[in-house]
Every structure is written in C-alpha cells, then in structure tokens.
Amino acid sequence: MRVGQEDIFYNGNKLSEFGDTYSLKKPGVENVGVFFTRGILLDVAAIKGKERLPTGYAITADDLKGALRLASATIRPGDAVLIHTGHGHLWMKDNQESGAGEPGIGLEAARWLTDQKISLVGCDNWALEVVPSKNPERPFEVHQWLLVRHGTYILEAMDLSELAADKAYEFAFVFSPLRLKGATGSPGNPLAIR
C-alpha cells in the first residue's frame, strides 16, 4: 500500500526501512520458517462438476463454503487451505492455454479466507487469483490483500490432482521454504500427510 511517497507493507513495515535495490532485509523468505499445520483441500472444480474450471472464472466465498461442505470440514485459525481448480491439468500439456489466463479466487473469496485467520493459501494455478482480473484497474489485488494487508502466505502451481482424486480433504501439511536471503519467495516441496 502506498501512503504519501512511502510504500507500507504488512505490520506497518516501510520499504525504506527494510529494502534496497538488492534485496529485502527484514521480511525475506529466510525468516519464514517451516509450516507444519493442518491442511484443508477445497475442491471447487468438483462442486461445479468440472474437471477444470474455465479460464477467467472468479471463485467466490460461496464456492469455497460449498467445497468446505463437500469436505465435511471446518477451517481453523492457522490452517493451510489448498484450492483445486483443475487448471493444473494443463501444465506441460497445453502451456499456451495455461498461460492465457486462469480460474482463481476473487477478492471476496480472499476476504473470506483472511476472516478465517488461515496461515497460507495455495492453488493449482500459477497466480492463485483469477486472471484476467475482474477489475482491470487493480490487477493482482488478491495478492495485495493476502500478502500486504494480512500477511497470509501464498503457494502457487501446486499439484493437487492426487489429493482431489483421493478425496483427501484433511491432512497434515508441511512446507519448508528455502532460506534464500532477501528473496520474496521460494521453491519447495509441500507435503500432505494422511
């Protein structure tokens, strides 16, 4: 968020106090630590009766609530919520279609997720949120809502197909980002343990 001439990040951190042209000094990914929490799979593709949601479909809070009912689960503070759209089926099969846009959560769904006080949200698409954005003046506003305003971590391009096929809706979730000093993200190998 920009206040006057200053960029302000989560918890009131000012960019001028923690970043320079080379890296981030305070909120770099090396300070995140390991995620070891309960995971919930919300299979939105399944509740819509689709193998893959259409490109540009904005997942709503009601869609997430419907997927939560399918899972017969509740979301607890600190959970990792993973959203299956089916878009990951295109990876390495039709990269042109995959990159042209995607289904994903809209701002209303992001607000609902942060109201649940989750620690992390992940998806099987490349940007988590719907592309193209429903508001062309505010592309990637879901990222701004989750990361900047609420400190909620994001994982993208996850392979959720086996969890969805097995109807594995609750599991232990483990993710250990690489400790890349000053980086804003990290590759990794998230695990769902049942």
Longest dimension (CA), the chain: 50
Q: Which residue did the predictor score with more confidence, 70 or 30?
A: 70
List the single range of 35-44, 64-73, 136-145 with lowest mean pLDDT: 136-145
**The pLDDT of residue 96:** 87
pLDDT, one tens digit per residue, over 40-64 is 999 999 999 999 999 999 999 999 9
> Architecture of domain 33-193 in CATH?
3-Layer(bba) Sandwich (3.50)
**The pLDDT of residue 101:** 94
What single letter denotes the amino acid at residue 6? E
Please state, in angstroms and rounded to a whole number, the distance separating the CA atoms of residues 118 and 122: 11
Q: How confident is the model at residue 19 (pLDDT cuts 50, 70, 90)?
A: confident
Percent of the chain exceeding pLDDT 90 equals 66
**What is the average pLDDT across 94-122?**
95
Please state, in angstroms and rounded to a whole number, the distance separating the CA atoms of residues 79 and 37: 6
Question: Which pTM does this prediction carry?
Answer: 0.88
Q: Per-residue DSSP letters for 76-102?
A: -TT-EEEEE-SGGGGTTT-HHHHHT-B
Q: Indicate the domain borders of the chain.
A: 33-193
**The pLDDT of residue 92:** 80
